[in-house]
Amino acid sequence: MSGEFLGIFSKIYSISMFVPCNIQFNYDRYDHEINMQISFGNKKIATAQSLKFLELTIDTSLTWKYHIGELTSRLKKACRAIRSIKPFMSLDVLRSTYFLCVHSIISYGIIFWGNSSHSEEIFKIQKRIIRIIMNSSKNASFWQLFKELNILPIQSQYVFSILLFVTKNKDQFISNSQVHKISIRQTSDLYVPTANLTIYQKGVYYLGIKIYNHLPTAIKDLYGDESKFKLALKRYLLHNSFYNLEEYFNT
């Protein structure tokens, strides 16, 4: 499945791409590293700790640490740029600048790295930028600031993006009614497959199902209409402005 390549890697897997290096994936702390030598022609290909693929920097343990580190550096530059133009621009222009320089960075590939523990660093910078745009004090409520600007906190953006992935790939998911022949509760929910690996449970496919199943029924009823589903979902997330997945699942 496109977009779910992280969930289907074997315990240790090596790939080589159009660069003179390869990466060995090992995301189980109990696994032992295998010293694999890969050659192309008569040349040995060096092993790297991280590798860029489709503008996503993937590391050996799939923690997204290196990728988020790169995003952090880019967002800090955007933060300085917004701070420098703040005295001369209106709120509307600053908000437009945010979507051009910040949102575009945050939203790209977020369905993969958005659930990483390292994403908290991105959230800190996002809040700093919001404070600059709104010219607010350190004691101001960010929850209210996000709502006033109609901007989603990073974890709410993650939920939004992963649910759009689910709706755009309906053929990759099945409902409970298709699996269970007897009548059960929530038959319209998506079927949650059995998964033992934590890395798979944090992946796009598995977590996308769980996030979808926790949506309010009124929004799930719009599943067949992508445009109405997207609009209702955006309103719901803007209203709640979830800071983390725990808040979302506890709502």
The tens digit of pLDDT for each residue in 47-87 reads: 666 667 788 877 767 778 888 999 999 999 999 999 999 99
Q: Of the candidates 118, 151, 184, which is a domain's last residue?
A: 151
Q: Are residues 178 and 127 in the same domain?
A: no
Q: Are residues 141 and 72 in the same domain?
A: yes
Query: Above 70 in pLDDT, residue 12?
Result: no
CB 51 within 8 A of CB 57: yes
CB 105 within 8 A of CB 71: yes
Q: How would you class 160 by CB atoms within 10 Å of its CB: exposed for 0-12, middle for 13-18, buried for 19 or more?
A: buried
Q: Are residues 240 and 162 in the same domain?
A: yes
Query: Above 60 in pLDDT, residue 29?
Result: no
| pLDDT value of position 80 | 95
pLDDT tier for residue 183 given thresholds of 50, 70 and 90: low
Q: Mapping DSSP to helix (H, G, I), strand (E, B) and coil, where does residue 29 land?
A: coil
CB 79 within 8 A of CB 71: no
Which two structure tokens, joined as six digits, stand for 55?
């503008």
Q: Are residues 123 and 177 in the same domain?
A: no
pLDDT in tens, 108-166: 999 999 988 889 999 999 999 999 999 888 777 888 899 999 999 999 999 999 999 99
Q: Are residues 136 and 117 in the same domain?
A: yes
Q: Are residues 76 and 144 in the same domain?
A: yes
CB 60 within 8 A of CB 11: no
- The helix-helix angle for 154-168 and 120-134 (nearest 10°) equals 110
Q: What is the pTM of this model?
A: 0.79
Q: How many domains does the chain have?
A: 3
CB 83 within 8 A of CB 133: no
Structural domain harbouring 199: 158-250
Residue 7 or 223, more confident: 223
Q: Are residues 164 and 140 in the same domain?
A: no
pLDDT in tens, 162-174: 999 998 888 888 7
